Amino acid sequence: MGRKVIRSESTTKAQILDAAIRLFGNRSFDAVSIRDITSEAKANLGAVNYHFSSKLNLIREVLRTLATPINEARLTSLNAYETLLNGGRPDLETLIRILVEPFVRLSKDRSGPGIYYPRLMMLARALPGDLIGSYLSEQHDAMARQFVKAIGRALPNLDEEEIFWRYDFTIGSTLNIVGDAYRSYRLKRLSAGQCDTDDADRIIDELVAFVSAGMRGAAPARRKKPKMARATAAKNGERRTATRVHAKQAAE
Amino acid sequence: MGRKVIRSESTTKAQILDAAIRLFGNRSFDAVSIRDITSEAKANLGAVNYHFSSKLNLIREVLRTLATPINEARLTSLNAYETLLNGGRPDLETLIRILVEPFVRLSKDRSGPGIYYPRLMMLARALPGDLIGSYLSEQHDAMARQFVKAIGRALPNLDEEEIFWRYDFTIGSTLNIVGDAYRSYRLKRLSAGQCDTDDADRIIDELVAFVSAGMRGAAPARRKKPKMARATAAKNGERRTATRVHAKQAAE
DNA sequence: GACAAATTGATACATACGTTTGACTGTATC
DNA sequence: GATACAGTCAAACGTATGTATCAATTTGTC
């Protein structure tokens, strides 16, 4: 390793990643073959395995490529806001906006690869096995916990568990609305065109209004838990040898 | 067709459907082969194509089998509540509970096939192409519109568009939390065990509190839409010949 | 019990897949 | 200009897939 190798970071690798994002985002992981990708990227069939070692690894790289900037944007904004506050109580609407805006905006920007992120995210969530990888989970969890803490400071009357529930609801709402447009237009159809699901600003405003109000709602009365006997758990003895995306749930 | 054929509705067909629900729910559509299904169902390989004509059709049948009772339960409850009201203004919390409860409860009932529904639903949403089929979309849309109408009666100050947005957020929150548990336990991990995502009653209570409060929130201020020029739309010339689940987006 | 239809069963087919291999090419380093 | 090596390329391997075929068997009807 005499000197740092430049060699333009092997443009083939970048082209493959680009093509993979585009194709995976338009179809799904299983529906896109390595041949599709290398053909779209004008690369050789072997290139994927050479640069990424396997398809599963390519998928992880794709997810990482898209998820990291969003989470970083969220954290950067949150940190900036908190230093600005200088210990004061944060404004809930502002927090929600910071949480929600990067995702929505990136996913509506047709000039970048962000449009593909919602579907990939939904796929990664829907498919079994640890597709995302622990690194991304930890990255997201750290970000999430910081937001939960901040929201807790904005709503001192809610205990932390409550906020965790509502954080999850927030992510669910966001993912659902953002994954809707650009192809399916479920909500637009349902509402007979009333809801313009392409308008990023509108989506953000609606999300902020709904989620903030939801967060401020009174916590539900807690019931006693009857805590019934645990049902016999696992009864799934399924194996998979194929090289499908899902095969690896090993120890779950 | 001289007389009605009984023949116990060909138990093989039912066994295949059962096995398919279980296997698809534990893995995903592409990761489960017809051979996996017929083997699990103790049926012959040809049986799937005989009874369901194709794998894609089997998938649609699976989704229909699980979705229909939930939507019907929702509508039955809603109708019962509305006749009970006899024209009076409905209670928002009650409406949300009616909307949310059947799904949550079914998906937590380990004795039935409902546990598999969330993942299948998420998969069907994440995958491209009209996987669900127009019949199911229409069934769901009719149900949704009736709820939107009812919620509009409970919140006369919100216009319908607003309610449509928030209905979508509600579904997103529900789907996200219900698809979480039974395997991944994302929220339980994130909250360090604070949130018990197996407790159906708790989930329902949290959802009702959050969503009701969100629904009651003030509508966001509407901005002027700059309405910029439409970006050149389609640039996707991708074909698929394989028999993967997704292949058919024909005219999009 | 005979007939026809419905269902099951074993096998074959064609193909698409992820990955591997090994030769080849360009380029940086000395 | 020789050496080393990162990258590219074409071809092949082994396997898993959905579906089709057609004979065997079961079932319902008369």
A56-216 matches A9-53 in CATH topology: no
Least confident of A17-31, B89-103, B225-239: B225-239
Tell me the nearest-neighbour CA distance from A216 into chain B, angstroms.
7
Quick check: B213 contacting A, CB < 8 Å?
Answer: yes
Which residue is nearest nucleotide D17, judged by alpha carbon to C1' distance? B33
- Gap between the Cα atoms of A113 and B109, Å rounded: 40
Could B244 and A31 be called an inter-chain contact, meaning their C-beta atoms sit closer than 8 Å?
Answer: yes
Side-chain-side CA neighbours of A9 within 13 Å: the count stands at 5
Average pLDDT value for residue range B207-227: 89
Spell out the CATH class of B10-53: mainly alpha
The predicted-structure confidence for B99-115, as pLDDT tens digits, reads as follows 999 999 999 999 999 99
Whether CB of A33 is under 7 Å from strand D: the answer is: no
Side-chain-side CA neighbours of B188 within 13 Å: the count stands at 14
pLDDT band at B3 (very low <50, low <70, confident <90, very high): very low
- Residue B35, token pair as written in the block: 């051979």
CATH of the domain spanning B59-216, picked from 1.10.260.40, 3.30.1490.20, 3.40.50.1260, 1.10.357.10: 1.10.357.10
Which candidate from A199, A209, A220 shows the least CB-CB separation from B218? A209
- Residue B9, token pair as written in the block: 């509705």
- Gap between the Cα atoms of B210 and A210, Å rounded: 9
The predicted-structure confidence for A137-184, as pLDDT tens digits, reads as follows 999 999 999 999 999 999 999 999 999 999 999 999 999 999 987 778
Per-residue pLDDT at A118 exceeds 50: yes
Contact by Cβ (8 Å): B240, A31: yes
Contact by Cβ (8 Å): A71, A143: yes
Average pLDDT value for residue range A35-41: 97
Per-residue pLDDT at B252 exceeds 50: no
Return the CATH superfamily for domain A56-216: Tetracycline Repressor, domain 2 (1.10.357.10)
Quick check: B216 contacting A, CB < 8 Å?
Answer: yes
A 2-31: CB within 7 Å of strand D: 5, 7, 10-13
Could B209 and A190 be called an inter-chain contact, meaning their C-beta atoms sit closer than 8 Å?
Answer: no
Domain positions in chain B = 10-53, 59-216
- Residue A9, token pair as written in the block: 């970071």
For residue B97, give the nearest of B216, B214, B209, B218 by alpha carbon: B209
The predicted-structure confidence for B234-247, as pLDDT tens digits, reads as follows 333 333 344 556 54
The predicted-structure confidence for B141-180, as pLDDT tens digits, reads as follows 999 999 999 999 999 999 999 999 999 999 999 999 999 8
Which candidate from A169, A175, A210 shows the least CB-CB separation from B217? A210
3-state SS string for A160-176:
HHHHHHHHHHHHHHHHH
Whether CB of B137 is under 7 Å from strand D: the answer is: no
Per-residue pLDDT at A238 exceeds 90: no
Q: What percent of chain B has pLDDT over 90?
A: 77
Domain A9-53 fold is Arc Repressor Mutant, subunit A (1.10.10)
Tell me the nearest-neighbour CA distance from A106 into chain B, angstroms.
16
Q: Locate the chain A residue with the closest alpha carbon to B251.
A: A183
Q: How far is CA B138 from CA B70, B141, B143, in A?
A: 14, 5, 8
Quick check: B234 contacting A, CB < 8 Å?
Answer: no
The predicted-structure confidence for B176-199, as pLDDT tens digits, reads as follows 999 987 778 899 999 999 999 999
